[in-house]
Amino acid sequence: MNQDRAVCAQNADILTQTIEYLGFLVNHSKSVLVPCQKIVCFGFCIDSVEFKVFLTEEKVQKILTKAEVLMEKGVVVIRELASFIGLIISVFFAVFEAKLHYRDLERNKILGLNGSTDFDKEVALSESSLQELRWWSQNIVAKNGKLIRPIPVTVKCRTDASLEGYGGIEIDSDRHVHVNSRWSYEESQHSINFFRVASNFFMFFKPCIMMYVVLVLKYSLITLLLYLH
């Protein structure tokens, strides 16, 4: 890589000549030797200007079409459902929120199989599965594009909660930002998982924390899916 197009072309020539000199064959028909800022590879468009990975238009349309077909049917062959799930898993590299919107479909598939390996059986899609299909149908175009290099974390917080109250503190910082309080009567009627997620919520909305863009949370995936999905 280089900011100068001519230098990039020269580097490509040197690399090609070196590989051939060492006895390897270069498949010129499948190689891109002309410097470019966007390249399509395995159904993904890699953009070195925005520094993101995007799905190709063809793959986006494939997701939209399959999602619409499954929603229209309601009762589907498990093989079709498994095929759509596989398609979703394949786009993890280009859709940041993809991992949050396929597990109900996966659960629906497993319940439909009921321990068997007969993928030609039919299964009725649950309401939660239909919600995930609607998410893909409504959001895949807008959500297409994922940063190649994640944004650096600027704030790290540690929180905990009990049945009585919660507390949180910013770590790796000299500011000693913290929150703590007891639950109100209405809040105390929830479960411990709610308390743990709520403690993070209150830590986030501390004014001096909200000035920052990126925070890191280490949390139970199941808990977050139940309360934030």
Which has more pLDDT, 6 or 156? 6
User: How many degrees, rounded to 5, is the angle at CA 92 between CA 91 and CA 98?
Assistant: 95
Close Cβ partners of 47 (under 8 Å, ≥ 6 residues apart): 37, 38, 53, 54
Close Cβ partners of 75 (under 8 Å, ≥ 6 residues apart): 122, 123, 124, 125
pLDDT tens string 35-86: 888 888 888 999 988 999 999 999 999 999 999 999 999 999 999 999 999 9
Integer angstrom CA distances of residue 39 from 16, 43, 49, 82, 84: 18, 10, 11, 29, 25
Q: What is the pLDDT of residue 209?
A: 53
Q: What is the pLDDT of residue 215?
A: 56
Which has more pLDDT, 137 or 172? 137
pTM over 0.75: no
- E strand intervals along 103-196: 122-124, 146-147, 155-161, 165-171, 178-182
- What torsion, rounded to 10 degrees, do the Cα atoms 88, 91, 93, 94 define? -120
DSSP run (H or E) holding 141: helix 127-143
